[in-house]
């Protein structure tokens, strides 16, 4: 059992991982500024965690760029913080072209602030949310961790920069235990439908958009290009159920805490690719709803294929995905039906 700081804990992946970590018996501080989430996700996490869930998760509102807030968390406890699971960040590829300064500030400068405070308080264990985006146009499909890091959008560049910073830190002094987890495409929700992905405004990602079309909030899906060099012309991605991803974090953390200090960089993906049209079809099958769509031009910064080689994670962490595409569609749909407007405190919009 460890005492953990979870930055961005109220977000999509953070909330599901908080639940998995609580189930493993850890005590958590969840820090979030709610710029893309709601405190209600963590209230639901503590309910799902069971009888003592509420006692074992402390929620702190704050920004990772505010060192005073971080100092209070690290310095204000009877027991030291053993490790950080660092989700807080901005994550939309398209938006990162429009607001590169914000992306570098939150993702890189924010991580720098966090690492400086961790170092001050002698906490040297961190699990970092990296992304398959660091591979850019991958040299080889499926893509292993030895492939070149060559991001093709500002968001991916910020993730690559933090990975580099963490590698320098690991080289600089002994004692750092670092895991860089390169997620492929996280989707789905807790099967209860109590927590899930609740983007503020128009969803950037495919699954929440398709879910909102299915539930009738949006008229139709725009498919960004059907002229890609893929079997049906639409881009292929490696979708991973968020519960599998949460379990991947538990496995990475366990390895860091039990083994000598080291830097682990691993993909978290299934090794299986699906096109956008295949996702639409599976979603229709899982929900019984028709998903109207139209083909529009390609989106800037997209690639034709992104599929993980999951071998390293399996060998190194003993972790592999268990859930199917049907599970991903069904669980997304349960969440969307029970929570058509997310956690209910999101800003609304009238687009599409």
Task: State the catalytic residues.
Answer: 155
Pairwise CA distance, residues 192 & 51, whole Å: 17
Residues 20-79 that bind ligand UDP (CB under 6 A): none
Residue 50: CB atoms within 10 A of its CB come to 11
Contact status: 9 vs ligand UDP (CB under 6 A): no
Is residue 182 close enough to count as binding ligand UDP by CB under 6 A?
Answer: no
Q: Is residue 276 a contact residue for ligand UDP (CB under 6 A)? A: yes
Contact flag: residue 284 with ligand UDP (CB under 6 A): no
254 Cβ partners below 8 Å, 6+ apart? none
Return the residue of 3, 23, 34, 233 that touches ligand NAD, per CB under 6 A: 34
Quickly count: other Cβ atoms within 10 Å of residue 152's Cβ.
17
Minimum CB–partner distance for residue 9 and ligand UDP (Å):
21
Identify which range of 3-11, 61-69, 117-125, 205-213 contacts ligand UDP by CB under 6 A.
Answer: 205-213
Region 82-111 residues binding ligand UDP, contact defined as CB under 6 A: 93
Q: Using CB under 6 A, which of the segments 23-31, 168-176, 203-211, 263-271 binds ligand UDP?
A: 203-211
* Residue of 107, 111, 157, 185 interacting with ligand UDP (CB under 6 A): 185
Would strands 3-7 and 305-306 be described as parallel, antiparallel, or unpaired?
A: unpaired
| C-beta neighbour count of 90 within 10 angstroms | 19
Burial environment of residue 20 by CB neighbours within 10 A (0 to 12, 13 to 18, 19 or more): buried
| DSSP-based three-state secondary structure for 168 | helix
Task: Tell me the angle at which helices 325-338 and 276-287 cross, rounded to the nearest 10 degrees.
Answer: 60
Q: Interface residues with ligand NAD (CB under 6 A)?
A: 8, 10-14, 32-37, 63-65, 87-89, 91, 106, 110, 129, 131, 183, 185-186
Q: Interface residues with ligand UDP (CB under 6 A)?
A: 93, 185, 204-206, 209, 221-224, 235, 237, 276, 299, 302, 306
């Amino acid at each position: 059992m460890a005492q953990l700081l979870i930055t961005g804990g109220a977000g999509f992946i953070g909330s599901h991982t908080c639940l998995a970590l609580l189930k493993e018996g850890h005590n958590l501080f969840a820090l979030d500024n709610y710029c893309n989430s709601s405190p209600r996700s963590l209230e639901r996490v503590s309910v799902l965690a069971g009888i003592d869930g509420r006692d074992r998760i402390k929620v702190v509102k704050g920004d990772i760029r505010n060192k005073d807030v971080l100092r209070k968390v690290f310095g204000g406890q009877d027991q030291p913080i053993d490790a950080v699971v660092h989700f807080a960040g901005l994550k939309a590829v398209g938006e990162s072209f429009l607001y590169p300064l914000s992306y570098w500030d939150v993702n890189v400068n924010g991580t720098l602030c966090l690492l400086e405070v961790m170092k001050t308080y002698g906490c040297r264990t961190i699990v970092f949310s990296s992304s398959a985006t660091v591979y850019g146009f991958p040299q080889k499909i499926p893509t292993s961790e030895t492939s070149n890091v060559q991001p093709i959008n500002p968001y991916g560049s910020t993730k690559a920069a933090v990975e580099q910073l963490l590698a320098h830190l690991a080289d600089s002094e002994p004692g750092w235990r670092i895991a860089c987890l390169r997620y492929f495409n996280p989707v789905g929700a807790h099967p209860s439908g109590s927590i899930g992905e609740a983007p503020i405004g128009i969803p950037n990602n495919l699954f929440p958009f398709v879910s909102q079309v299915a539930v009738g909030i949006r008229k139709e899906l725009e498919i960004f290009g059907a002229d890609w060099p893929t079997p049906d012309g639409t881009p292929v991605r490696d979708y991973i159920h968020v519960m599998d991803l949460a379990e991947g974090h538990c496995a990475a953390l366990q390895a860091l805490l039990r083994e000598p200090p080291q830097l682990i960089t691993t993909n978290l993906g299934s090794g299986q690719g699906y096109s956008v049209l295949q996702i639409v079809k599976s979603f229709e099958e899982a929900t019984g709803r028709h998903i109207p769509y139209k083909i529009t031009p390609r989106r800037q910064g997209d690639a034709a294929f992104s599929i993980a080689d999951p071998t390293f994670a399996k060998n190194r962490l003993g972790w592999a995905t268990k859930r199917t595409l049907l599970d991903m569609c069904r669980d997304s749909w349960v969440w969307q039906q029970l929570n058509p407007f997310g956690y209910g405190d999101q800003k609304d919009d009238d687009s599409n």
